[in-house]
Amino acid sequence: MIYHEIALEPEAIEDLKDLGLLERIFGFEHGRMIAVFPAKPTKTGSWGKLLERHLSNLLPEKRKEIEIRLKQLLPQLVCRSRNHSKLETEQEWYDLATKEHGDKSFSCLIGRGKREHPDWVPFQKLYVPDSTVPPCLTGPVHFGDAMKDPETFLGELQPLIFSATRVSFIDPYFNPVHSDPSKARKWRNTAKRLADYFREAKRLTADFQFHTKFKSELPTEFQRPDIFVQKVADTISCYFPATSKISVTAWEIRPNGIPFHARYIITDKAGVALDYGTDLGPKYRTDVALLPLAFARKRLKEFEKGEESPFKWKASVQTHGKQ
């Protein structure tokens, strides 16, 4: 599993020290995310609002500090992967969370005190974990693996995808207009699945940036880089909503330069690096490294047009989705 999505009871957090603990162990770069659960309540407020209200009531003298801390922390600690979670005022968080866990499981549930539930972890145990605390909470989860299949692979990236408004897809072999129809279909399927997940997340105005390598061995009709990127954009734009932005950029190796091999999916939240492409490869596994936001931004900057880039820009095109 690439990301562990964990349900956390807002009222389990009792002071600023507890917030510091959350900052140390949760986040995209750690592979552990707090589920925005409830995500769409009708009367009580979202998970973040519940937490802010709870802490402000406990520590009224620190209300402003709490507001500032949460504004900084929540974008990196929580993930949107459930659009339907509702909490009425008469419902207990535990009852709703266990029901949701049965329908679509969390890695575990964390909250106040002890509960007779096999996946329950008392919050205070996070300070001094014992053998009853699951490994996903106690050790580093900076690496994961997934099958080389866009259906399962992108599914395991749901916390990252559901929280993103911008995604850069970087793969030197991305080519949905490949002369081999079977290879073209694989890449088209990857683009389609990416679009499907963003649509499911209701991220209909997302910004998609595709980066690939321009290859001299392309068919004659694509020998010009501008024609190649235009054809790629025309081919994949049909999968995306009309409200989404799409850009396709082709790069090549600079003279005496070093080619890029690693593949990346980088969003405005964080990113992942892959040792293998995300096109379909039955029975193949790919290793995934989780990138902290600062490193993800550094890597993405290398794919900005300019003389300082280690790669030579060939052509770009921008368009919108067609659906």
Is the distance from CB of 270 to CB of 251 less than 8 angstroms? no
pLDDT exceeds cutoff 90 at 118 = yes
Q: How confident is the model at residue 245 (pLDDT cuts 50, 70, 90)?
A: very high
Q: What percent of the chain has pLDDT over 90?
A: 47
Closest CA to 315 of 205, 240, 222, 238: 222
Give pLDDT, residue 44.
62
Whole-number pLDDT of residue 251: 92
CATH of domain 4-138: 3.40.50
DSSP secondary structure string, 97-138? HHHHHHHS--SEEEESS--S-TTEEEGGGGTS--TTS-HHHH
* CATH of 143-320 given 2.40.30, 3.30.1490, 3.30.870, 2.60.40: 3.30.870
What are the angstrom distances between the C-alpha of 129 and each of 11, 139, 194, 316?
Answer: 20, 10, 37, 51
Residue 20: count other Cβ atoms within 10 Å of its Cβ. 11
pLDDT for 307: 81
Region(s) of the chain under CATH 3.40.50: 4-138
- Cis previous bond, 310, omega within 30: no
Bigger pLDDT: 110 or 142? 110
Kindly report, as residue ranges, where domains of CATH 3.30.870 are found in the chain.
Answer: 143-320
pLDDT by residue (tens digit) across 53-90?
999 999 999 999 999 999 999 988 988 776 556 666 56
Pairing assessment for the beta strands 207-213 and 245-253 based on DSSP bridges: parallel
Q: What is the pLDDT of residues 29-61, one digit of tens each?
A: 888 999 988 776 555 668 888 899 999 999 999
**Strongest mean pLDDT among 3-12, 80-89, 302-311:** 3-12
Phi first, then psi: give them for residue 77, nearest 5 degrees: -105, -25
197-217 pLDDT, tens digit each: 888 877 888 899 999 998 765
∠ CA 118-34-136, rounded to 5°: 50
**Which pTM does this prediction carry?**
0.84
> 81 φ, ψ to 5°?
-135, 5
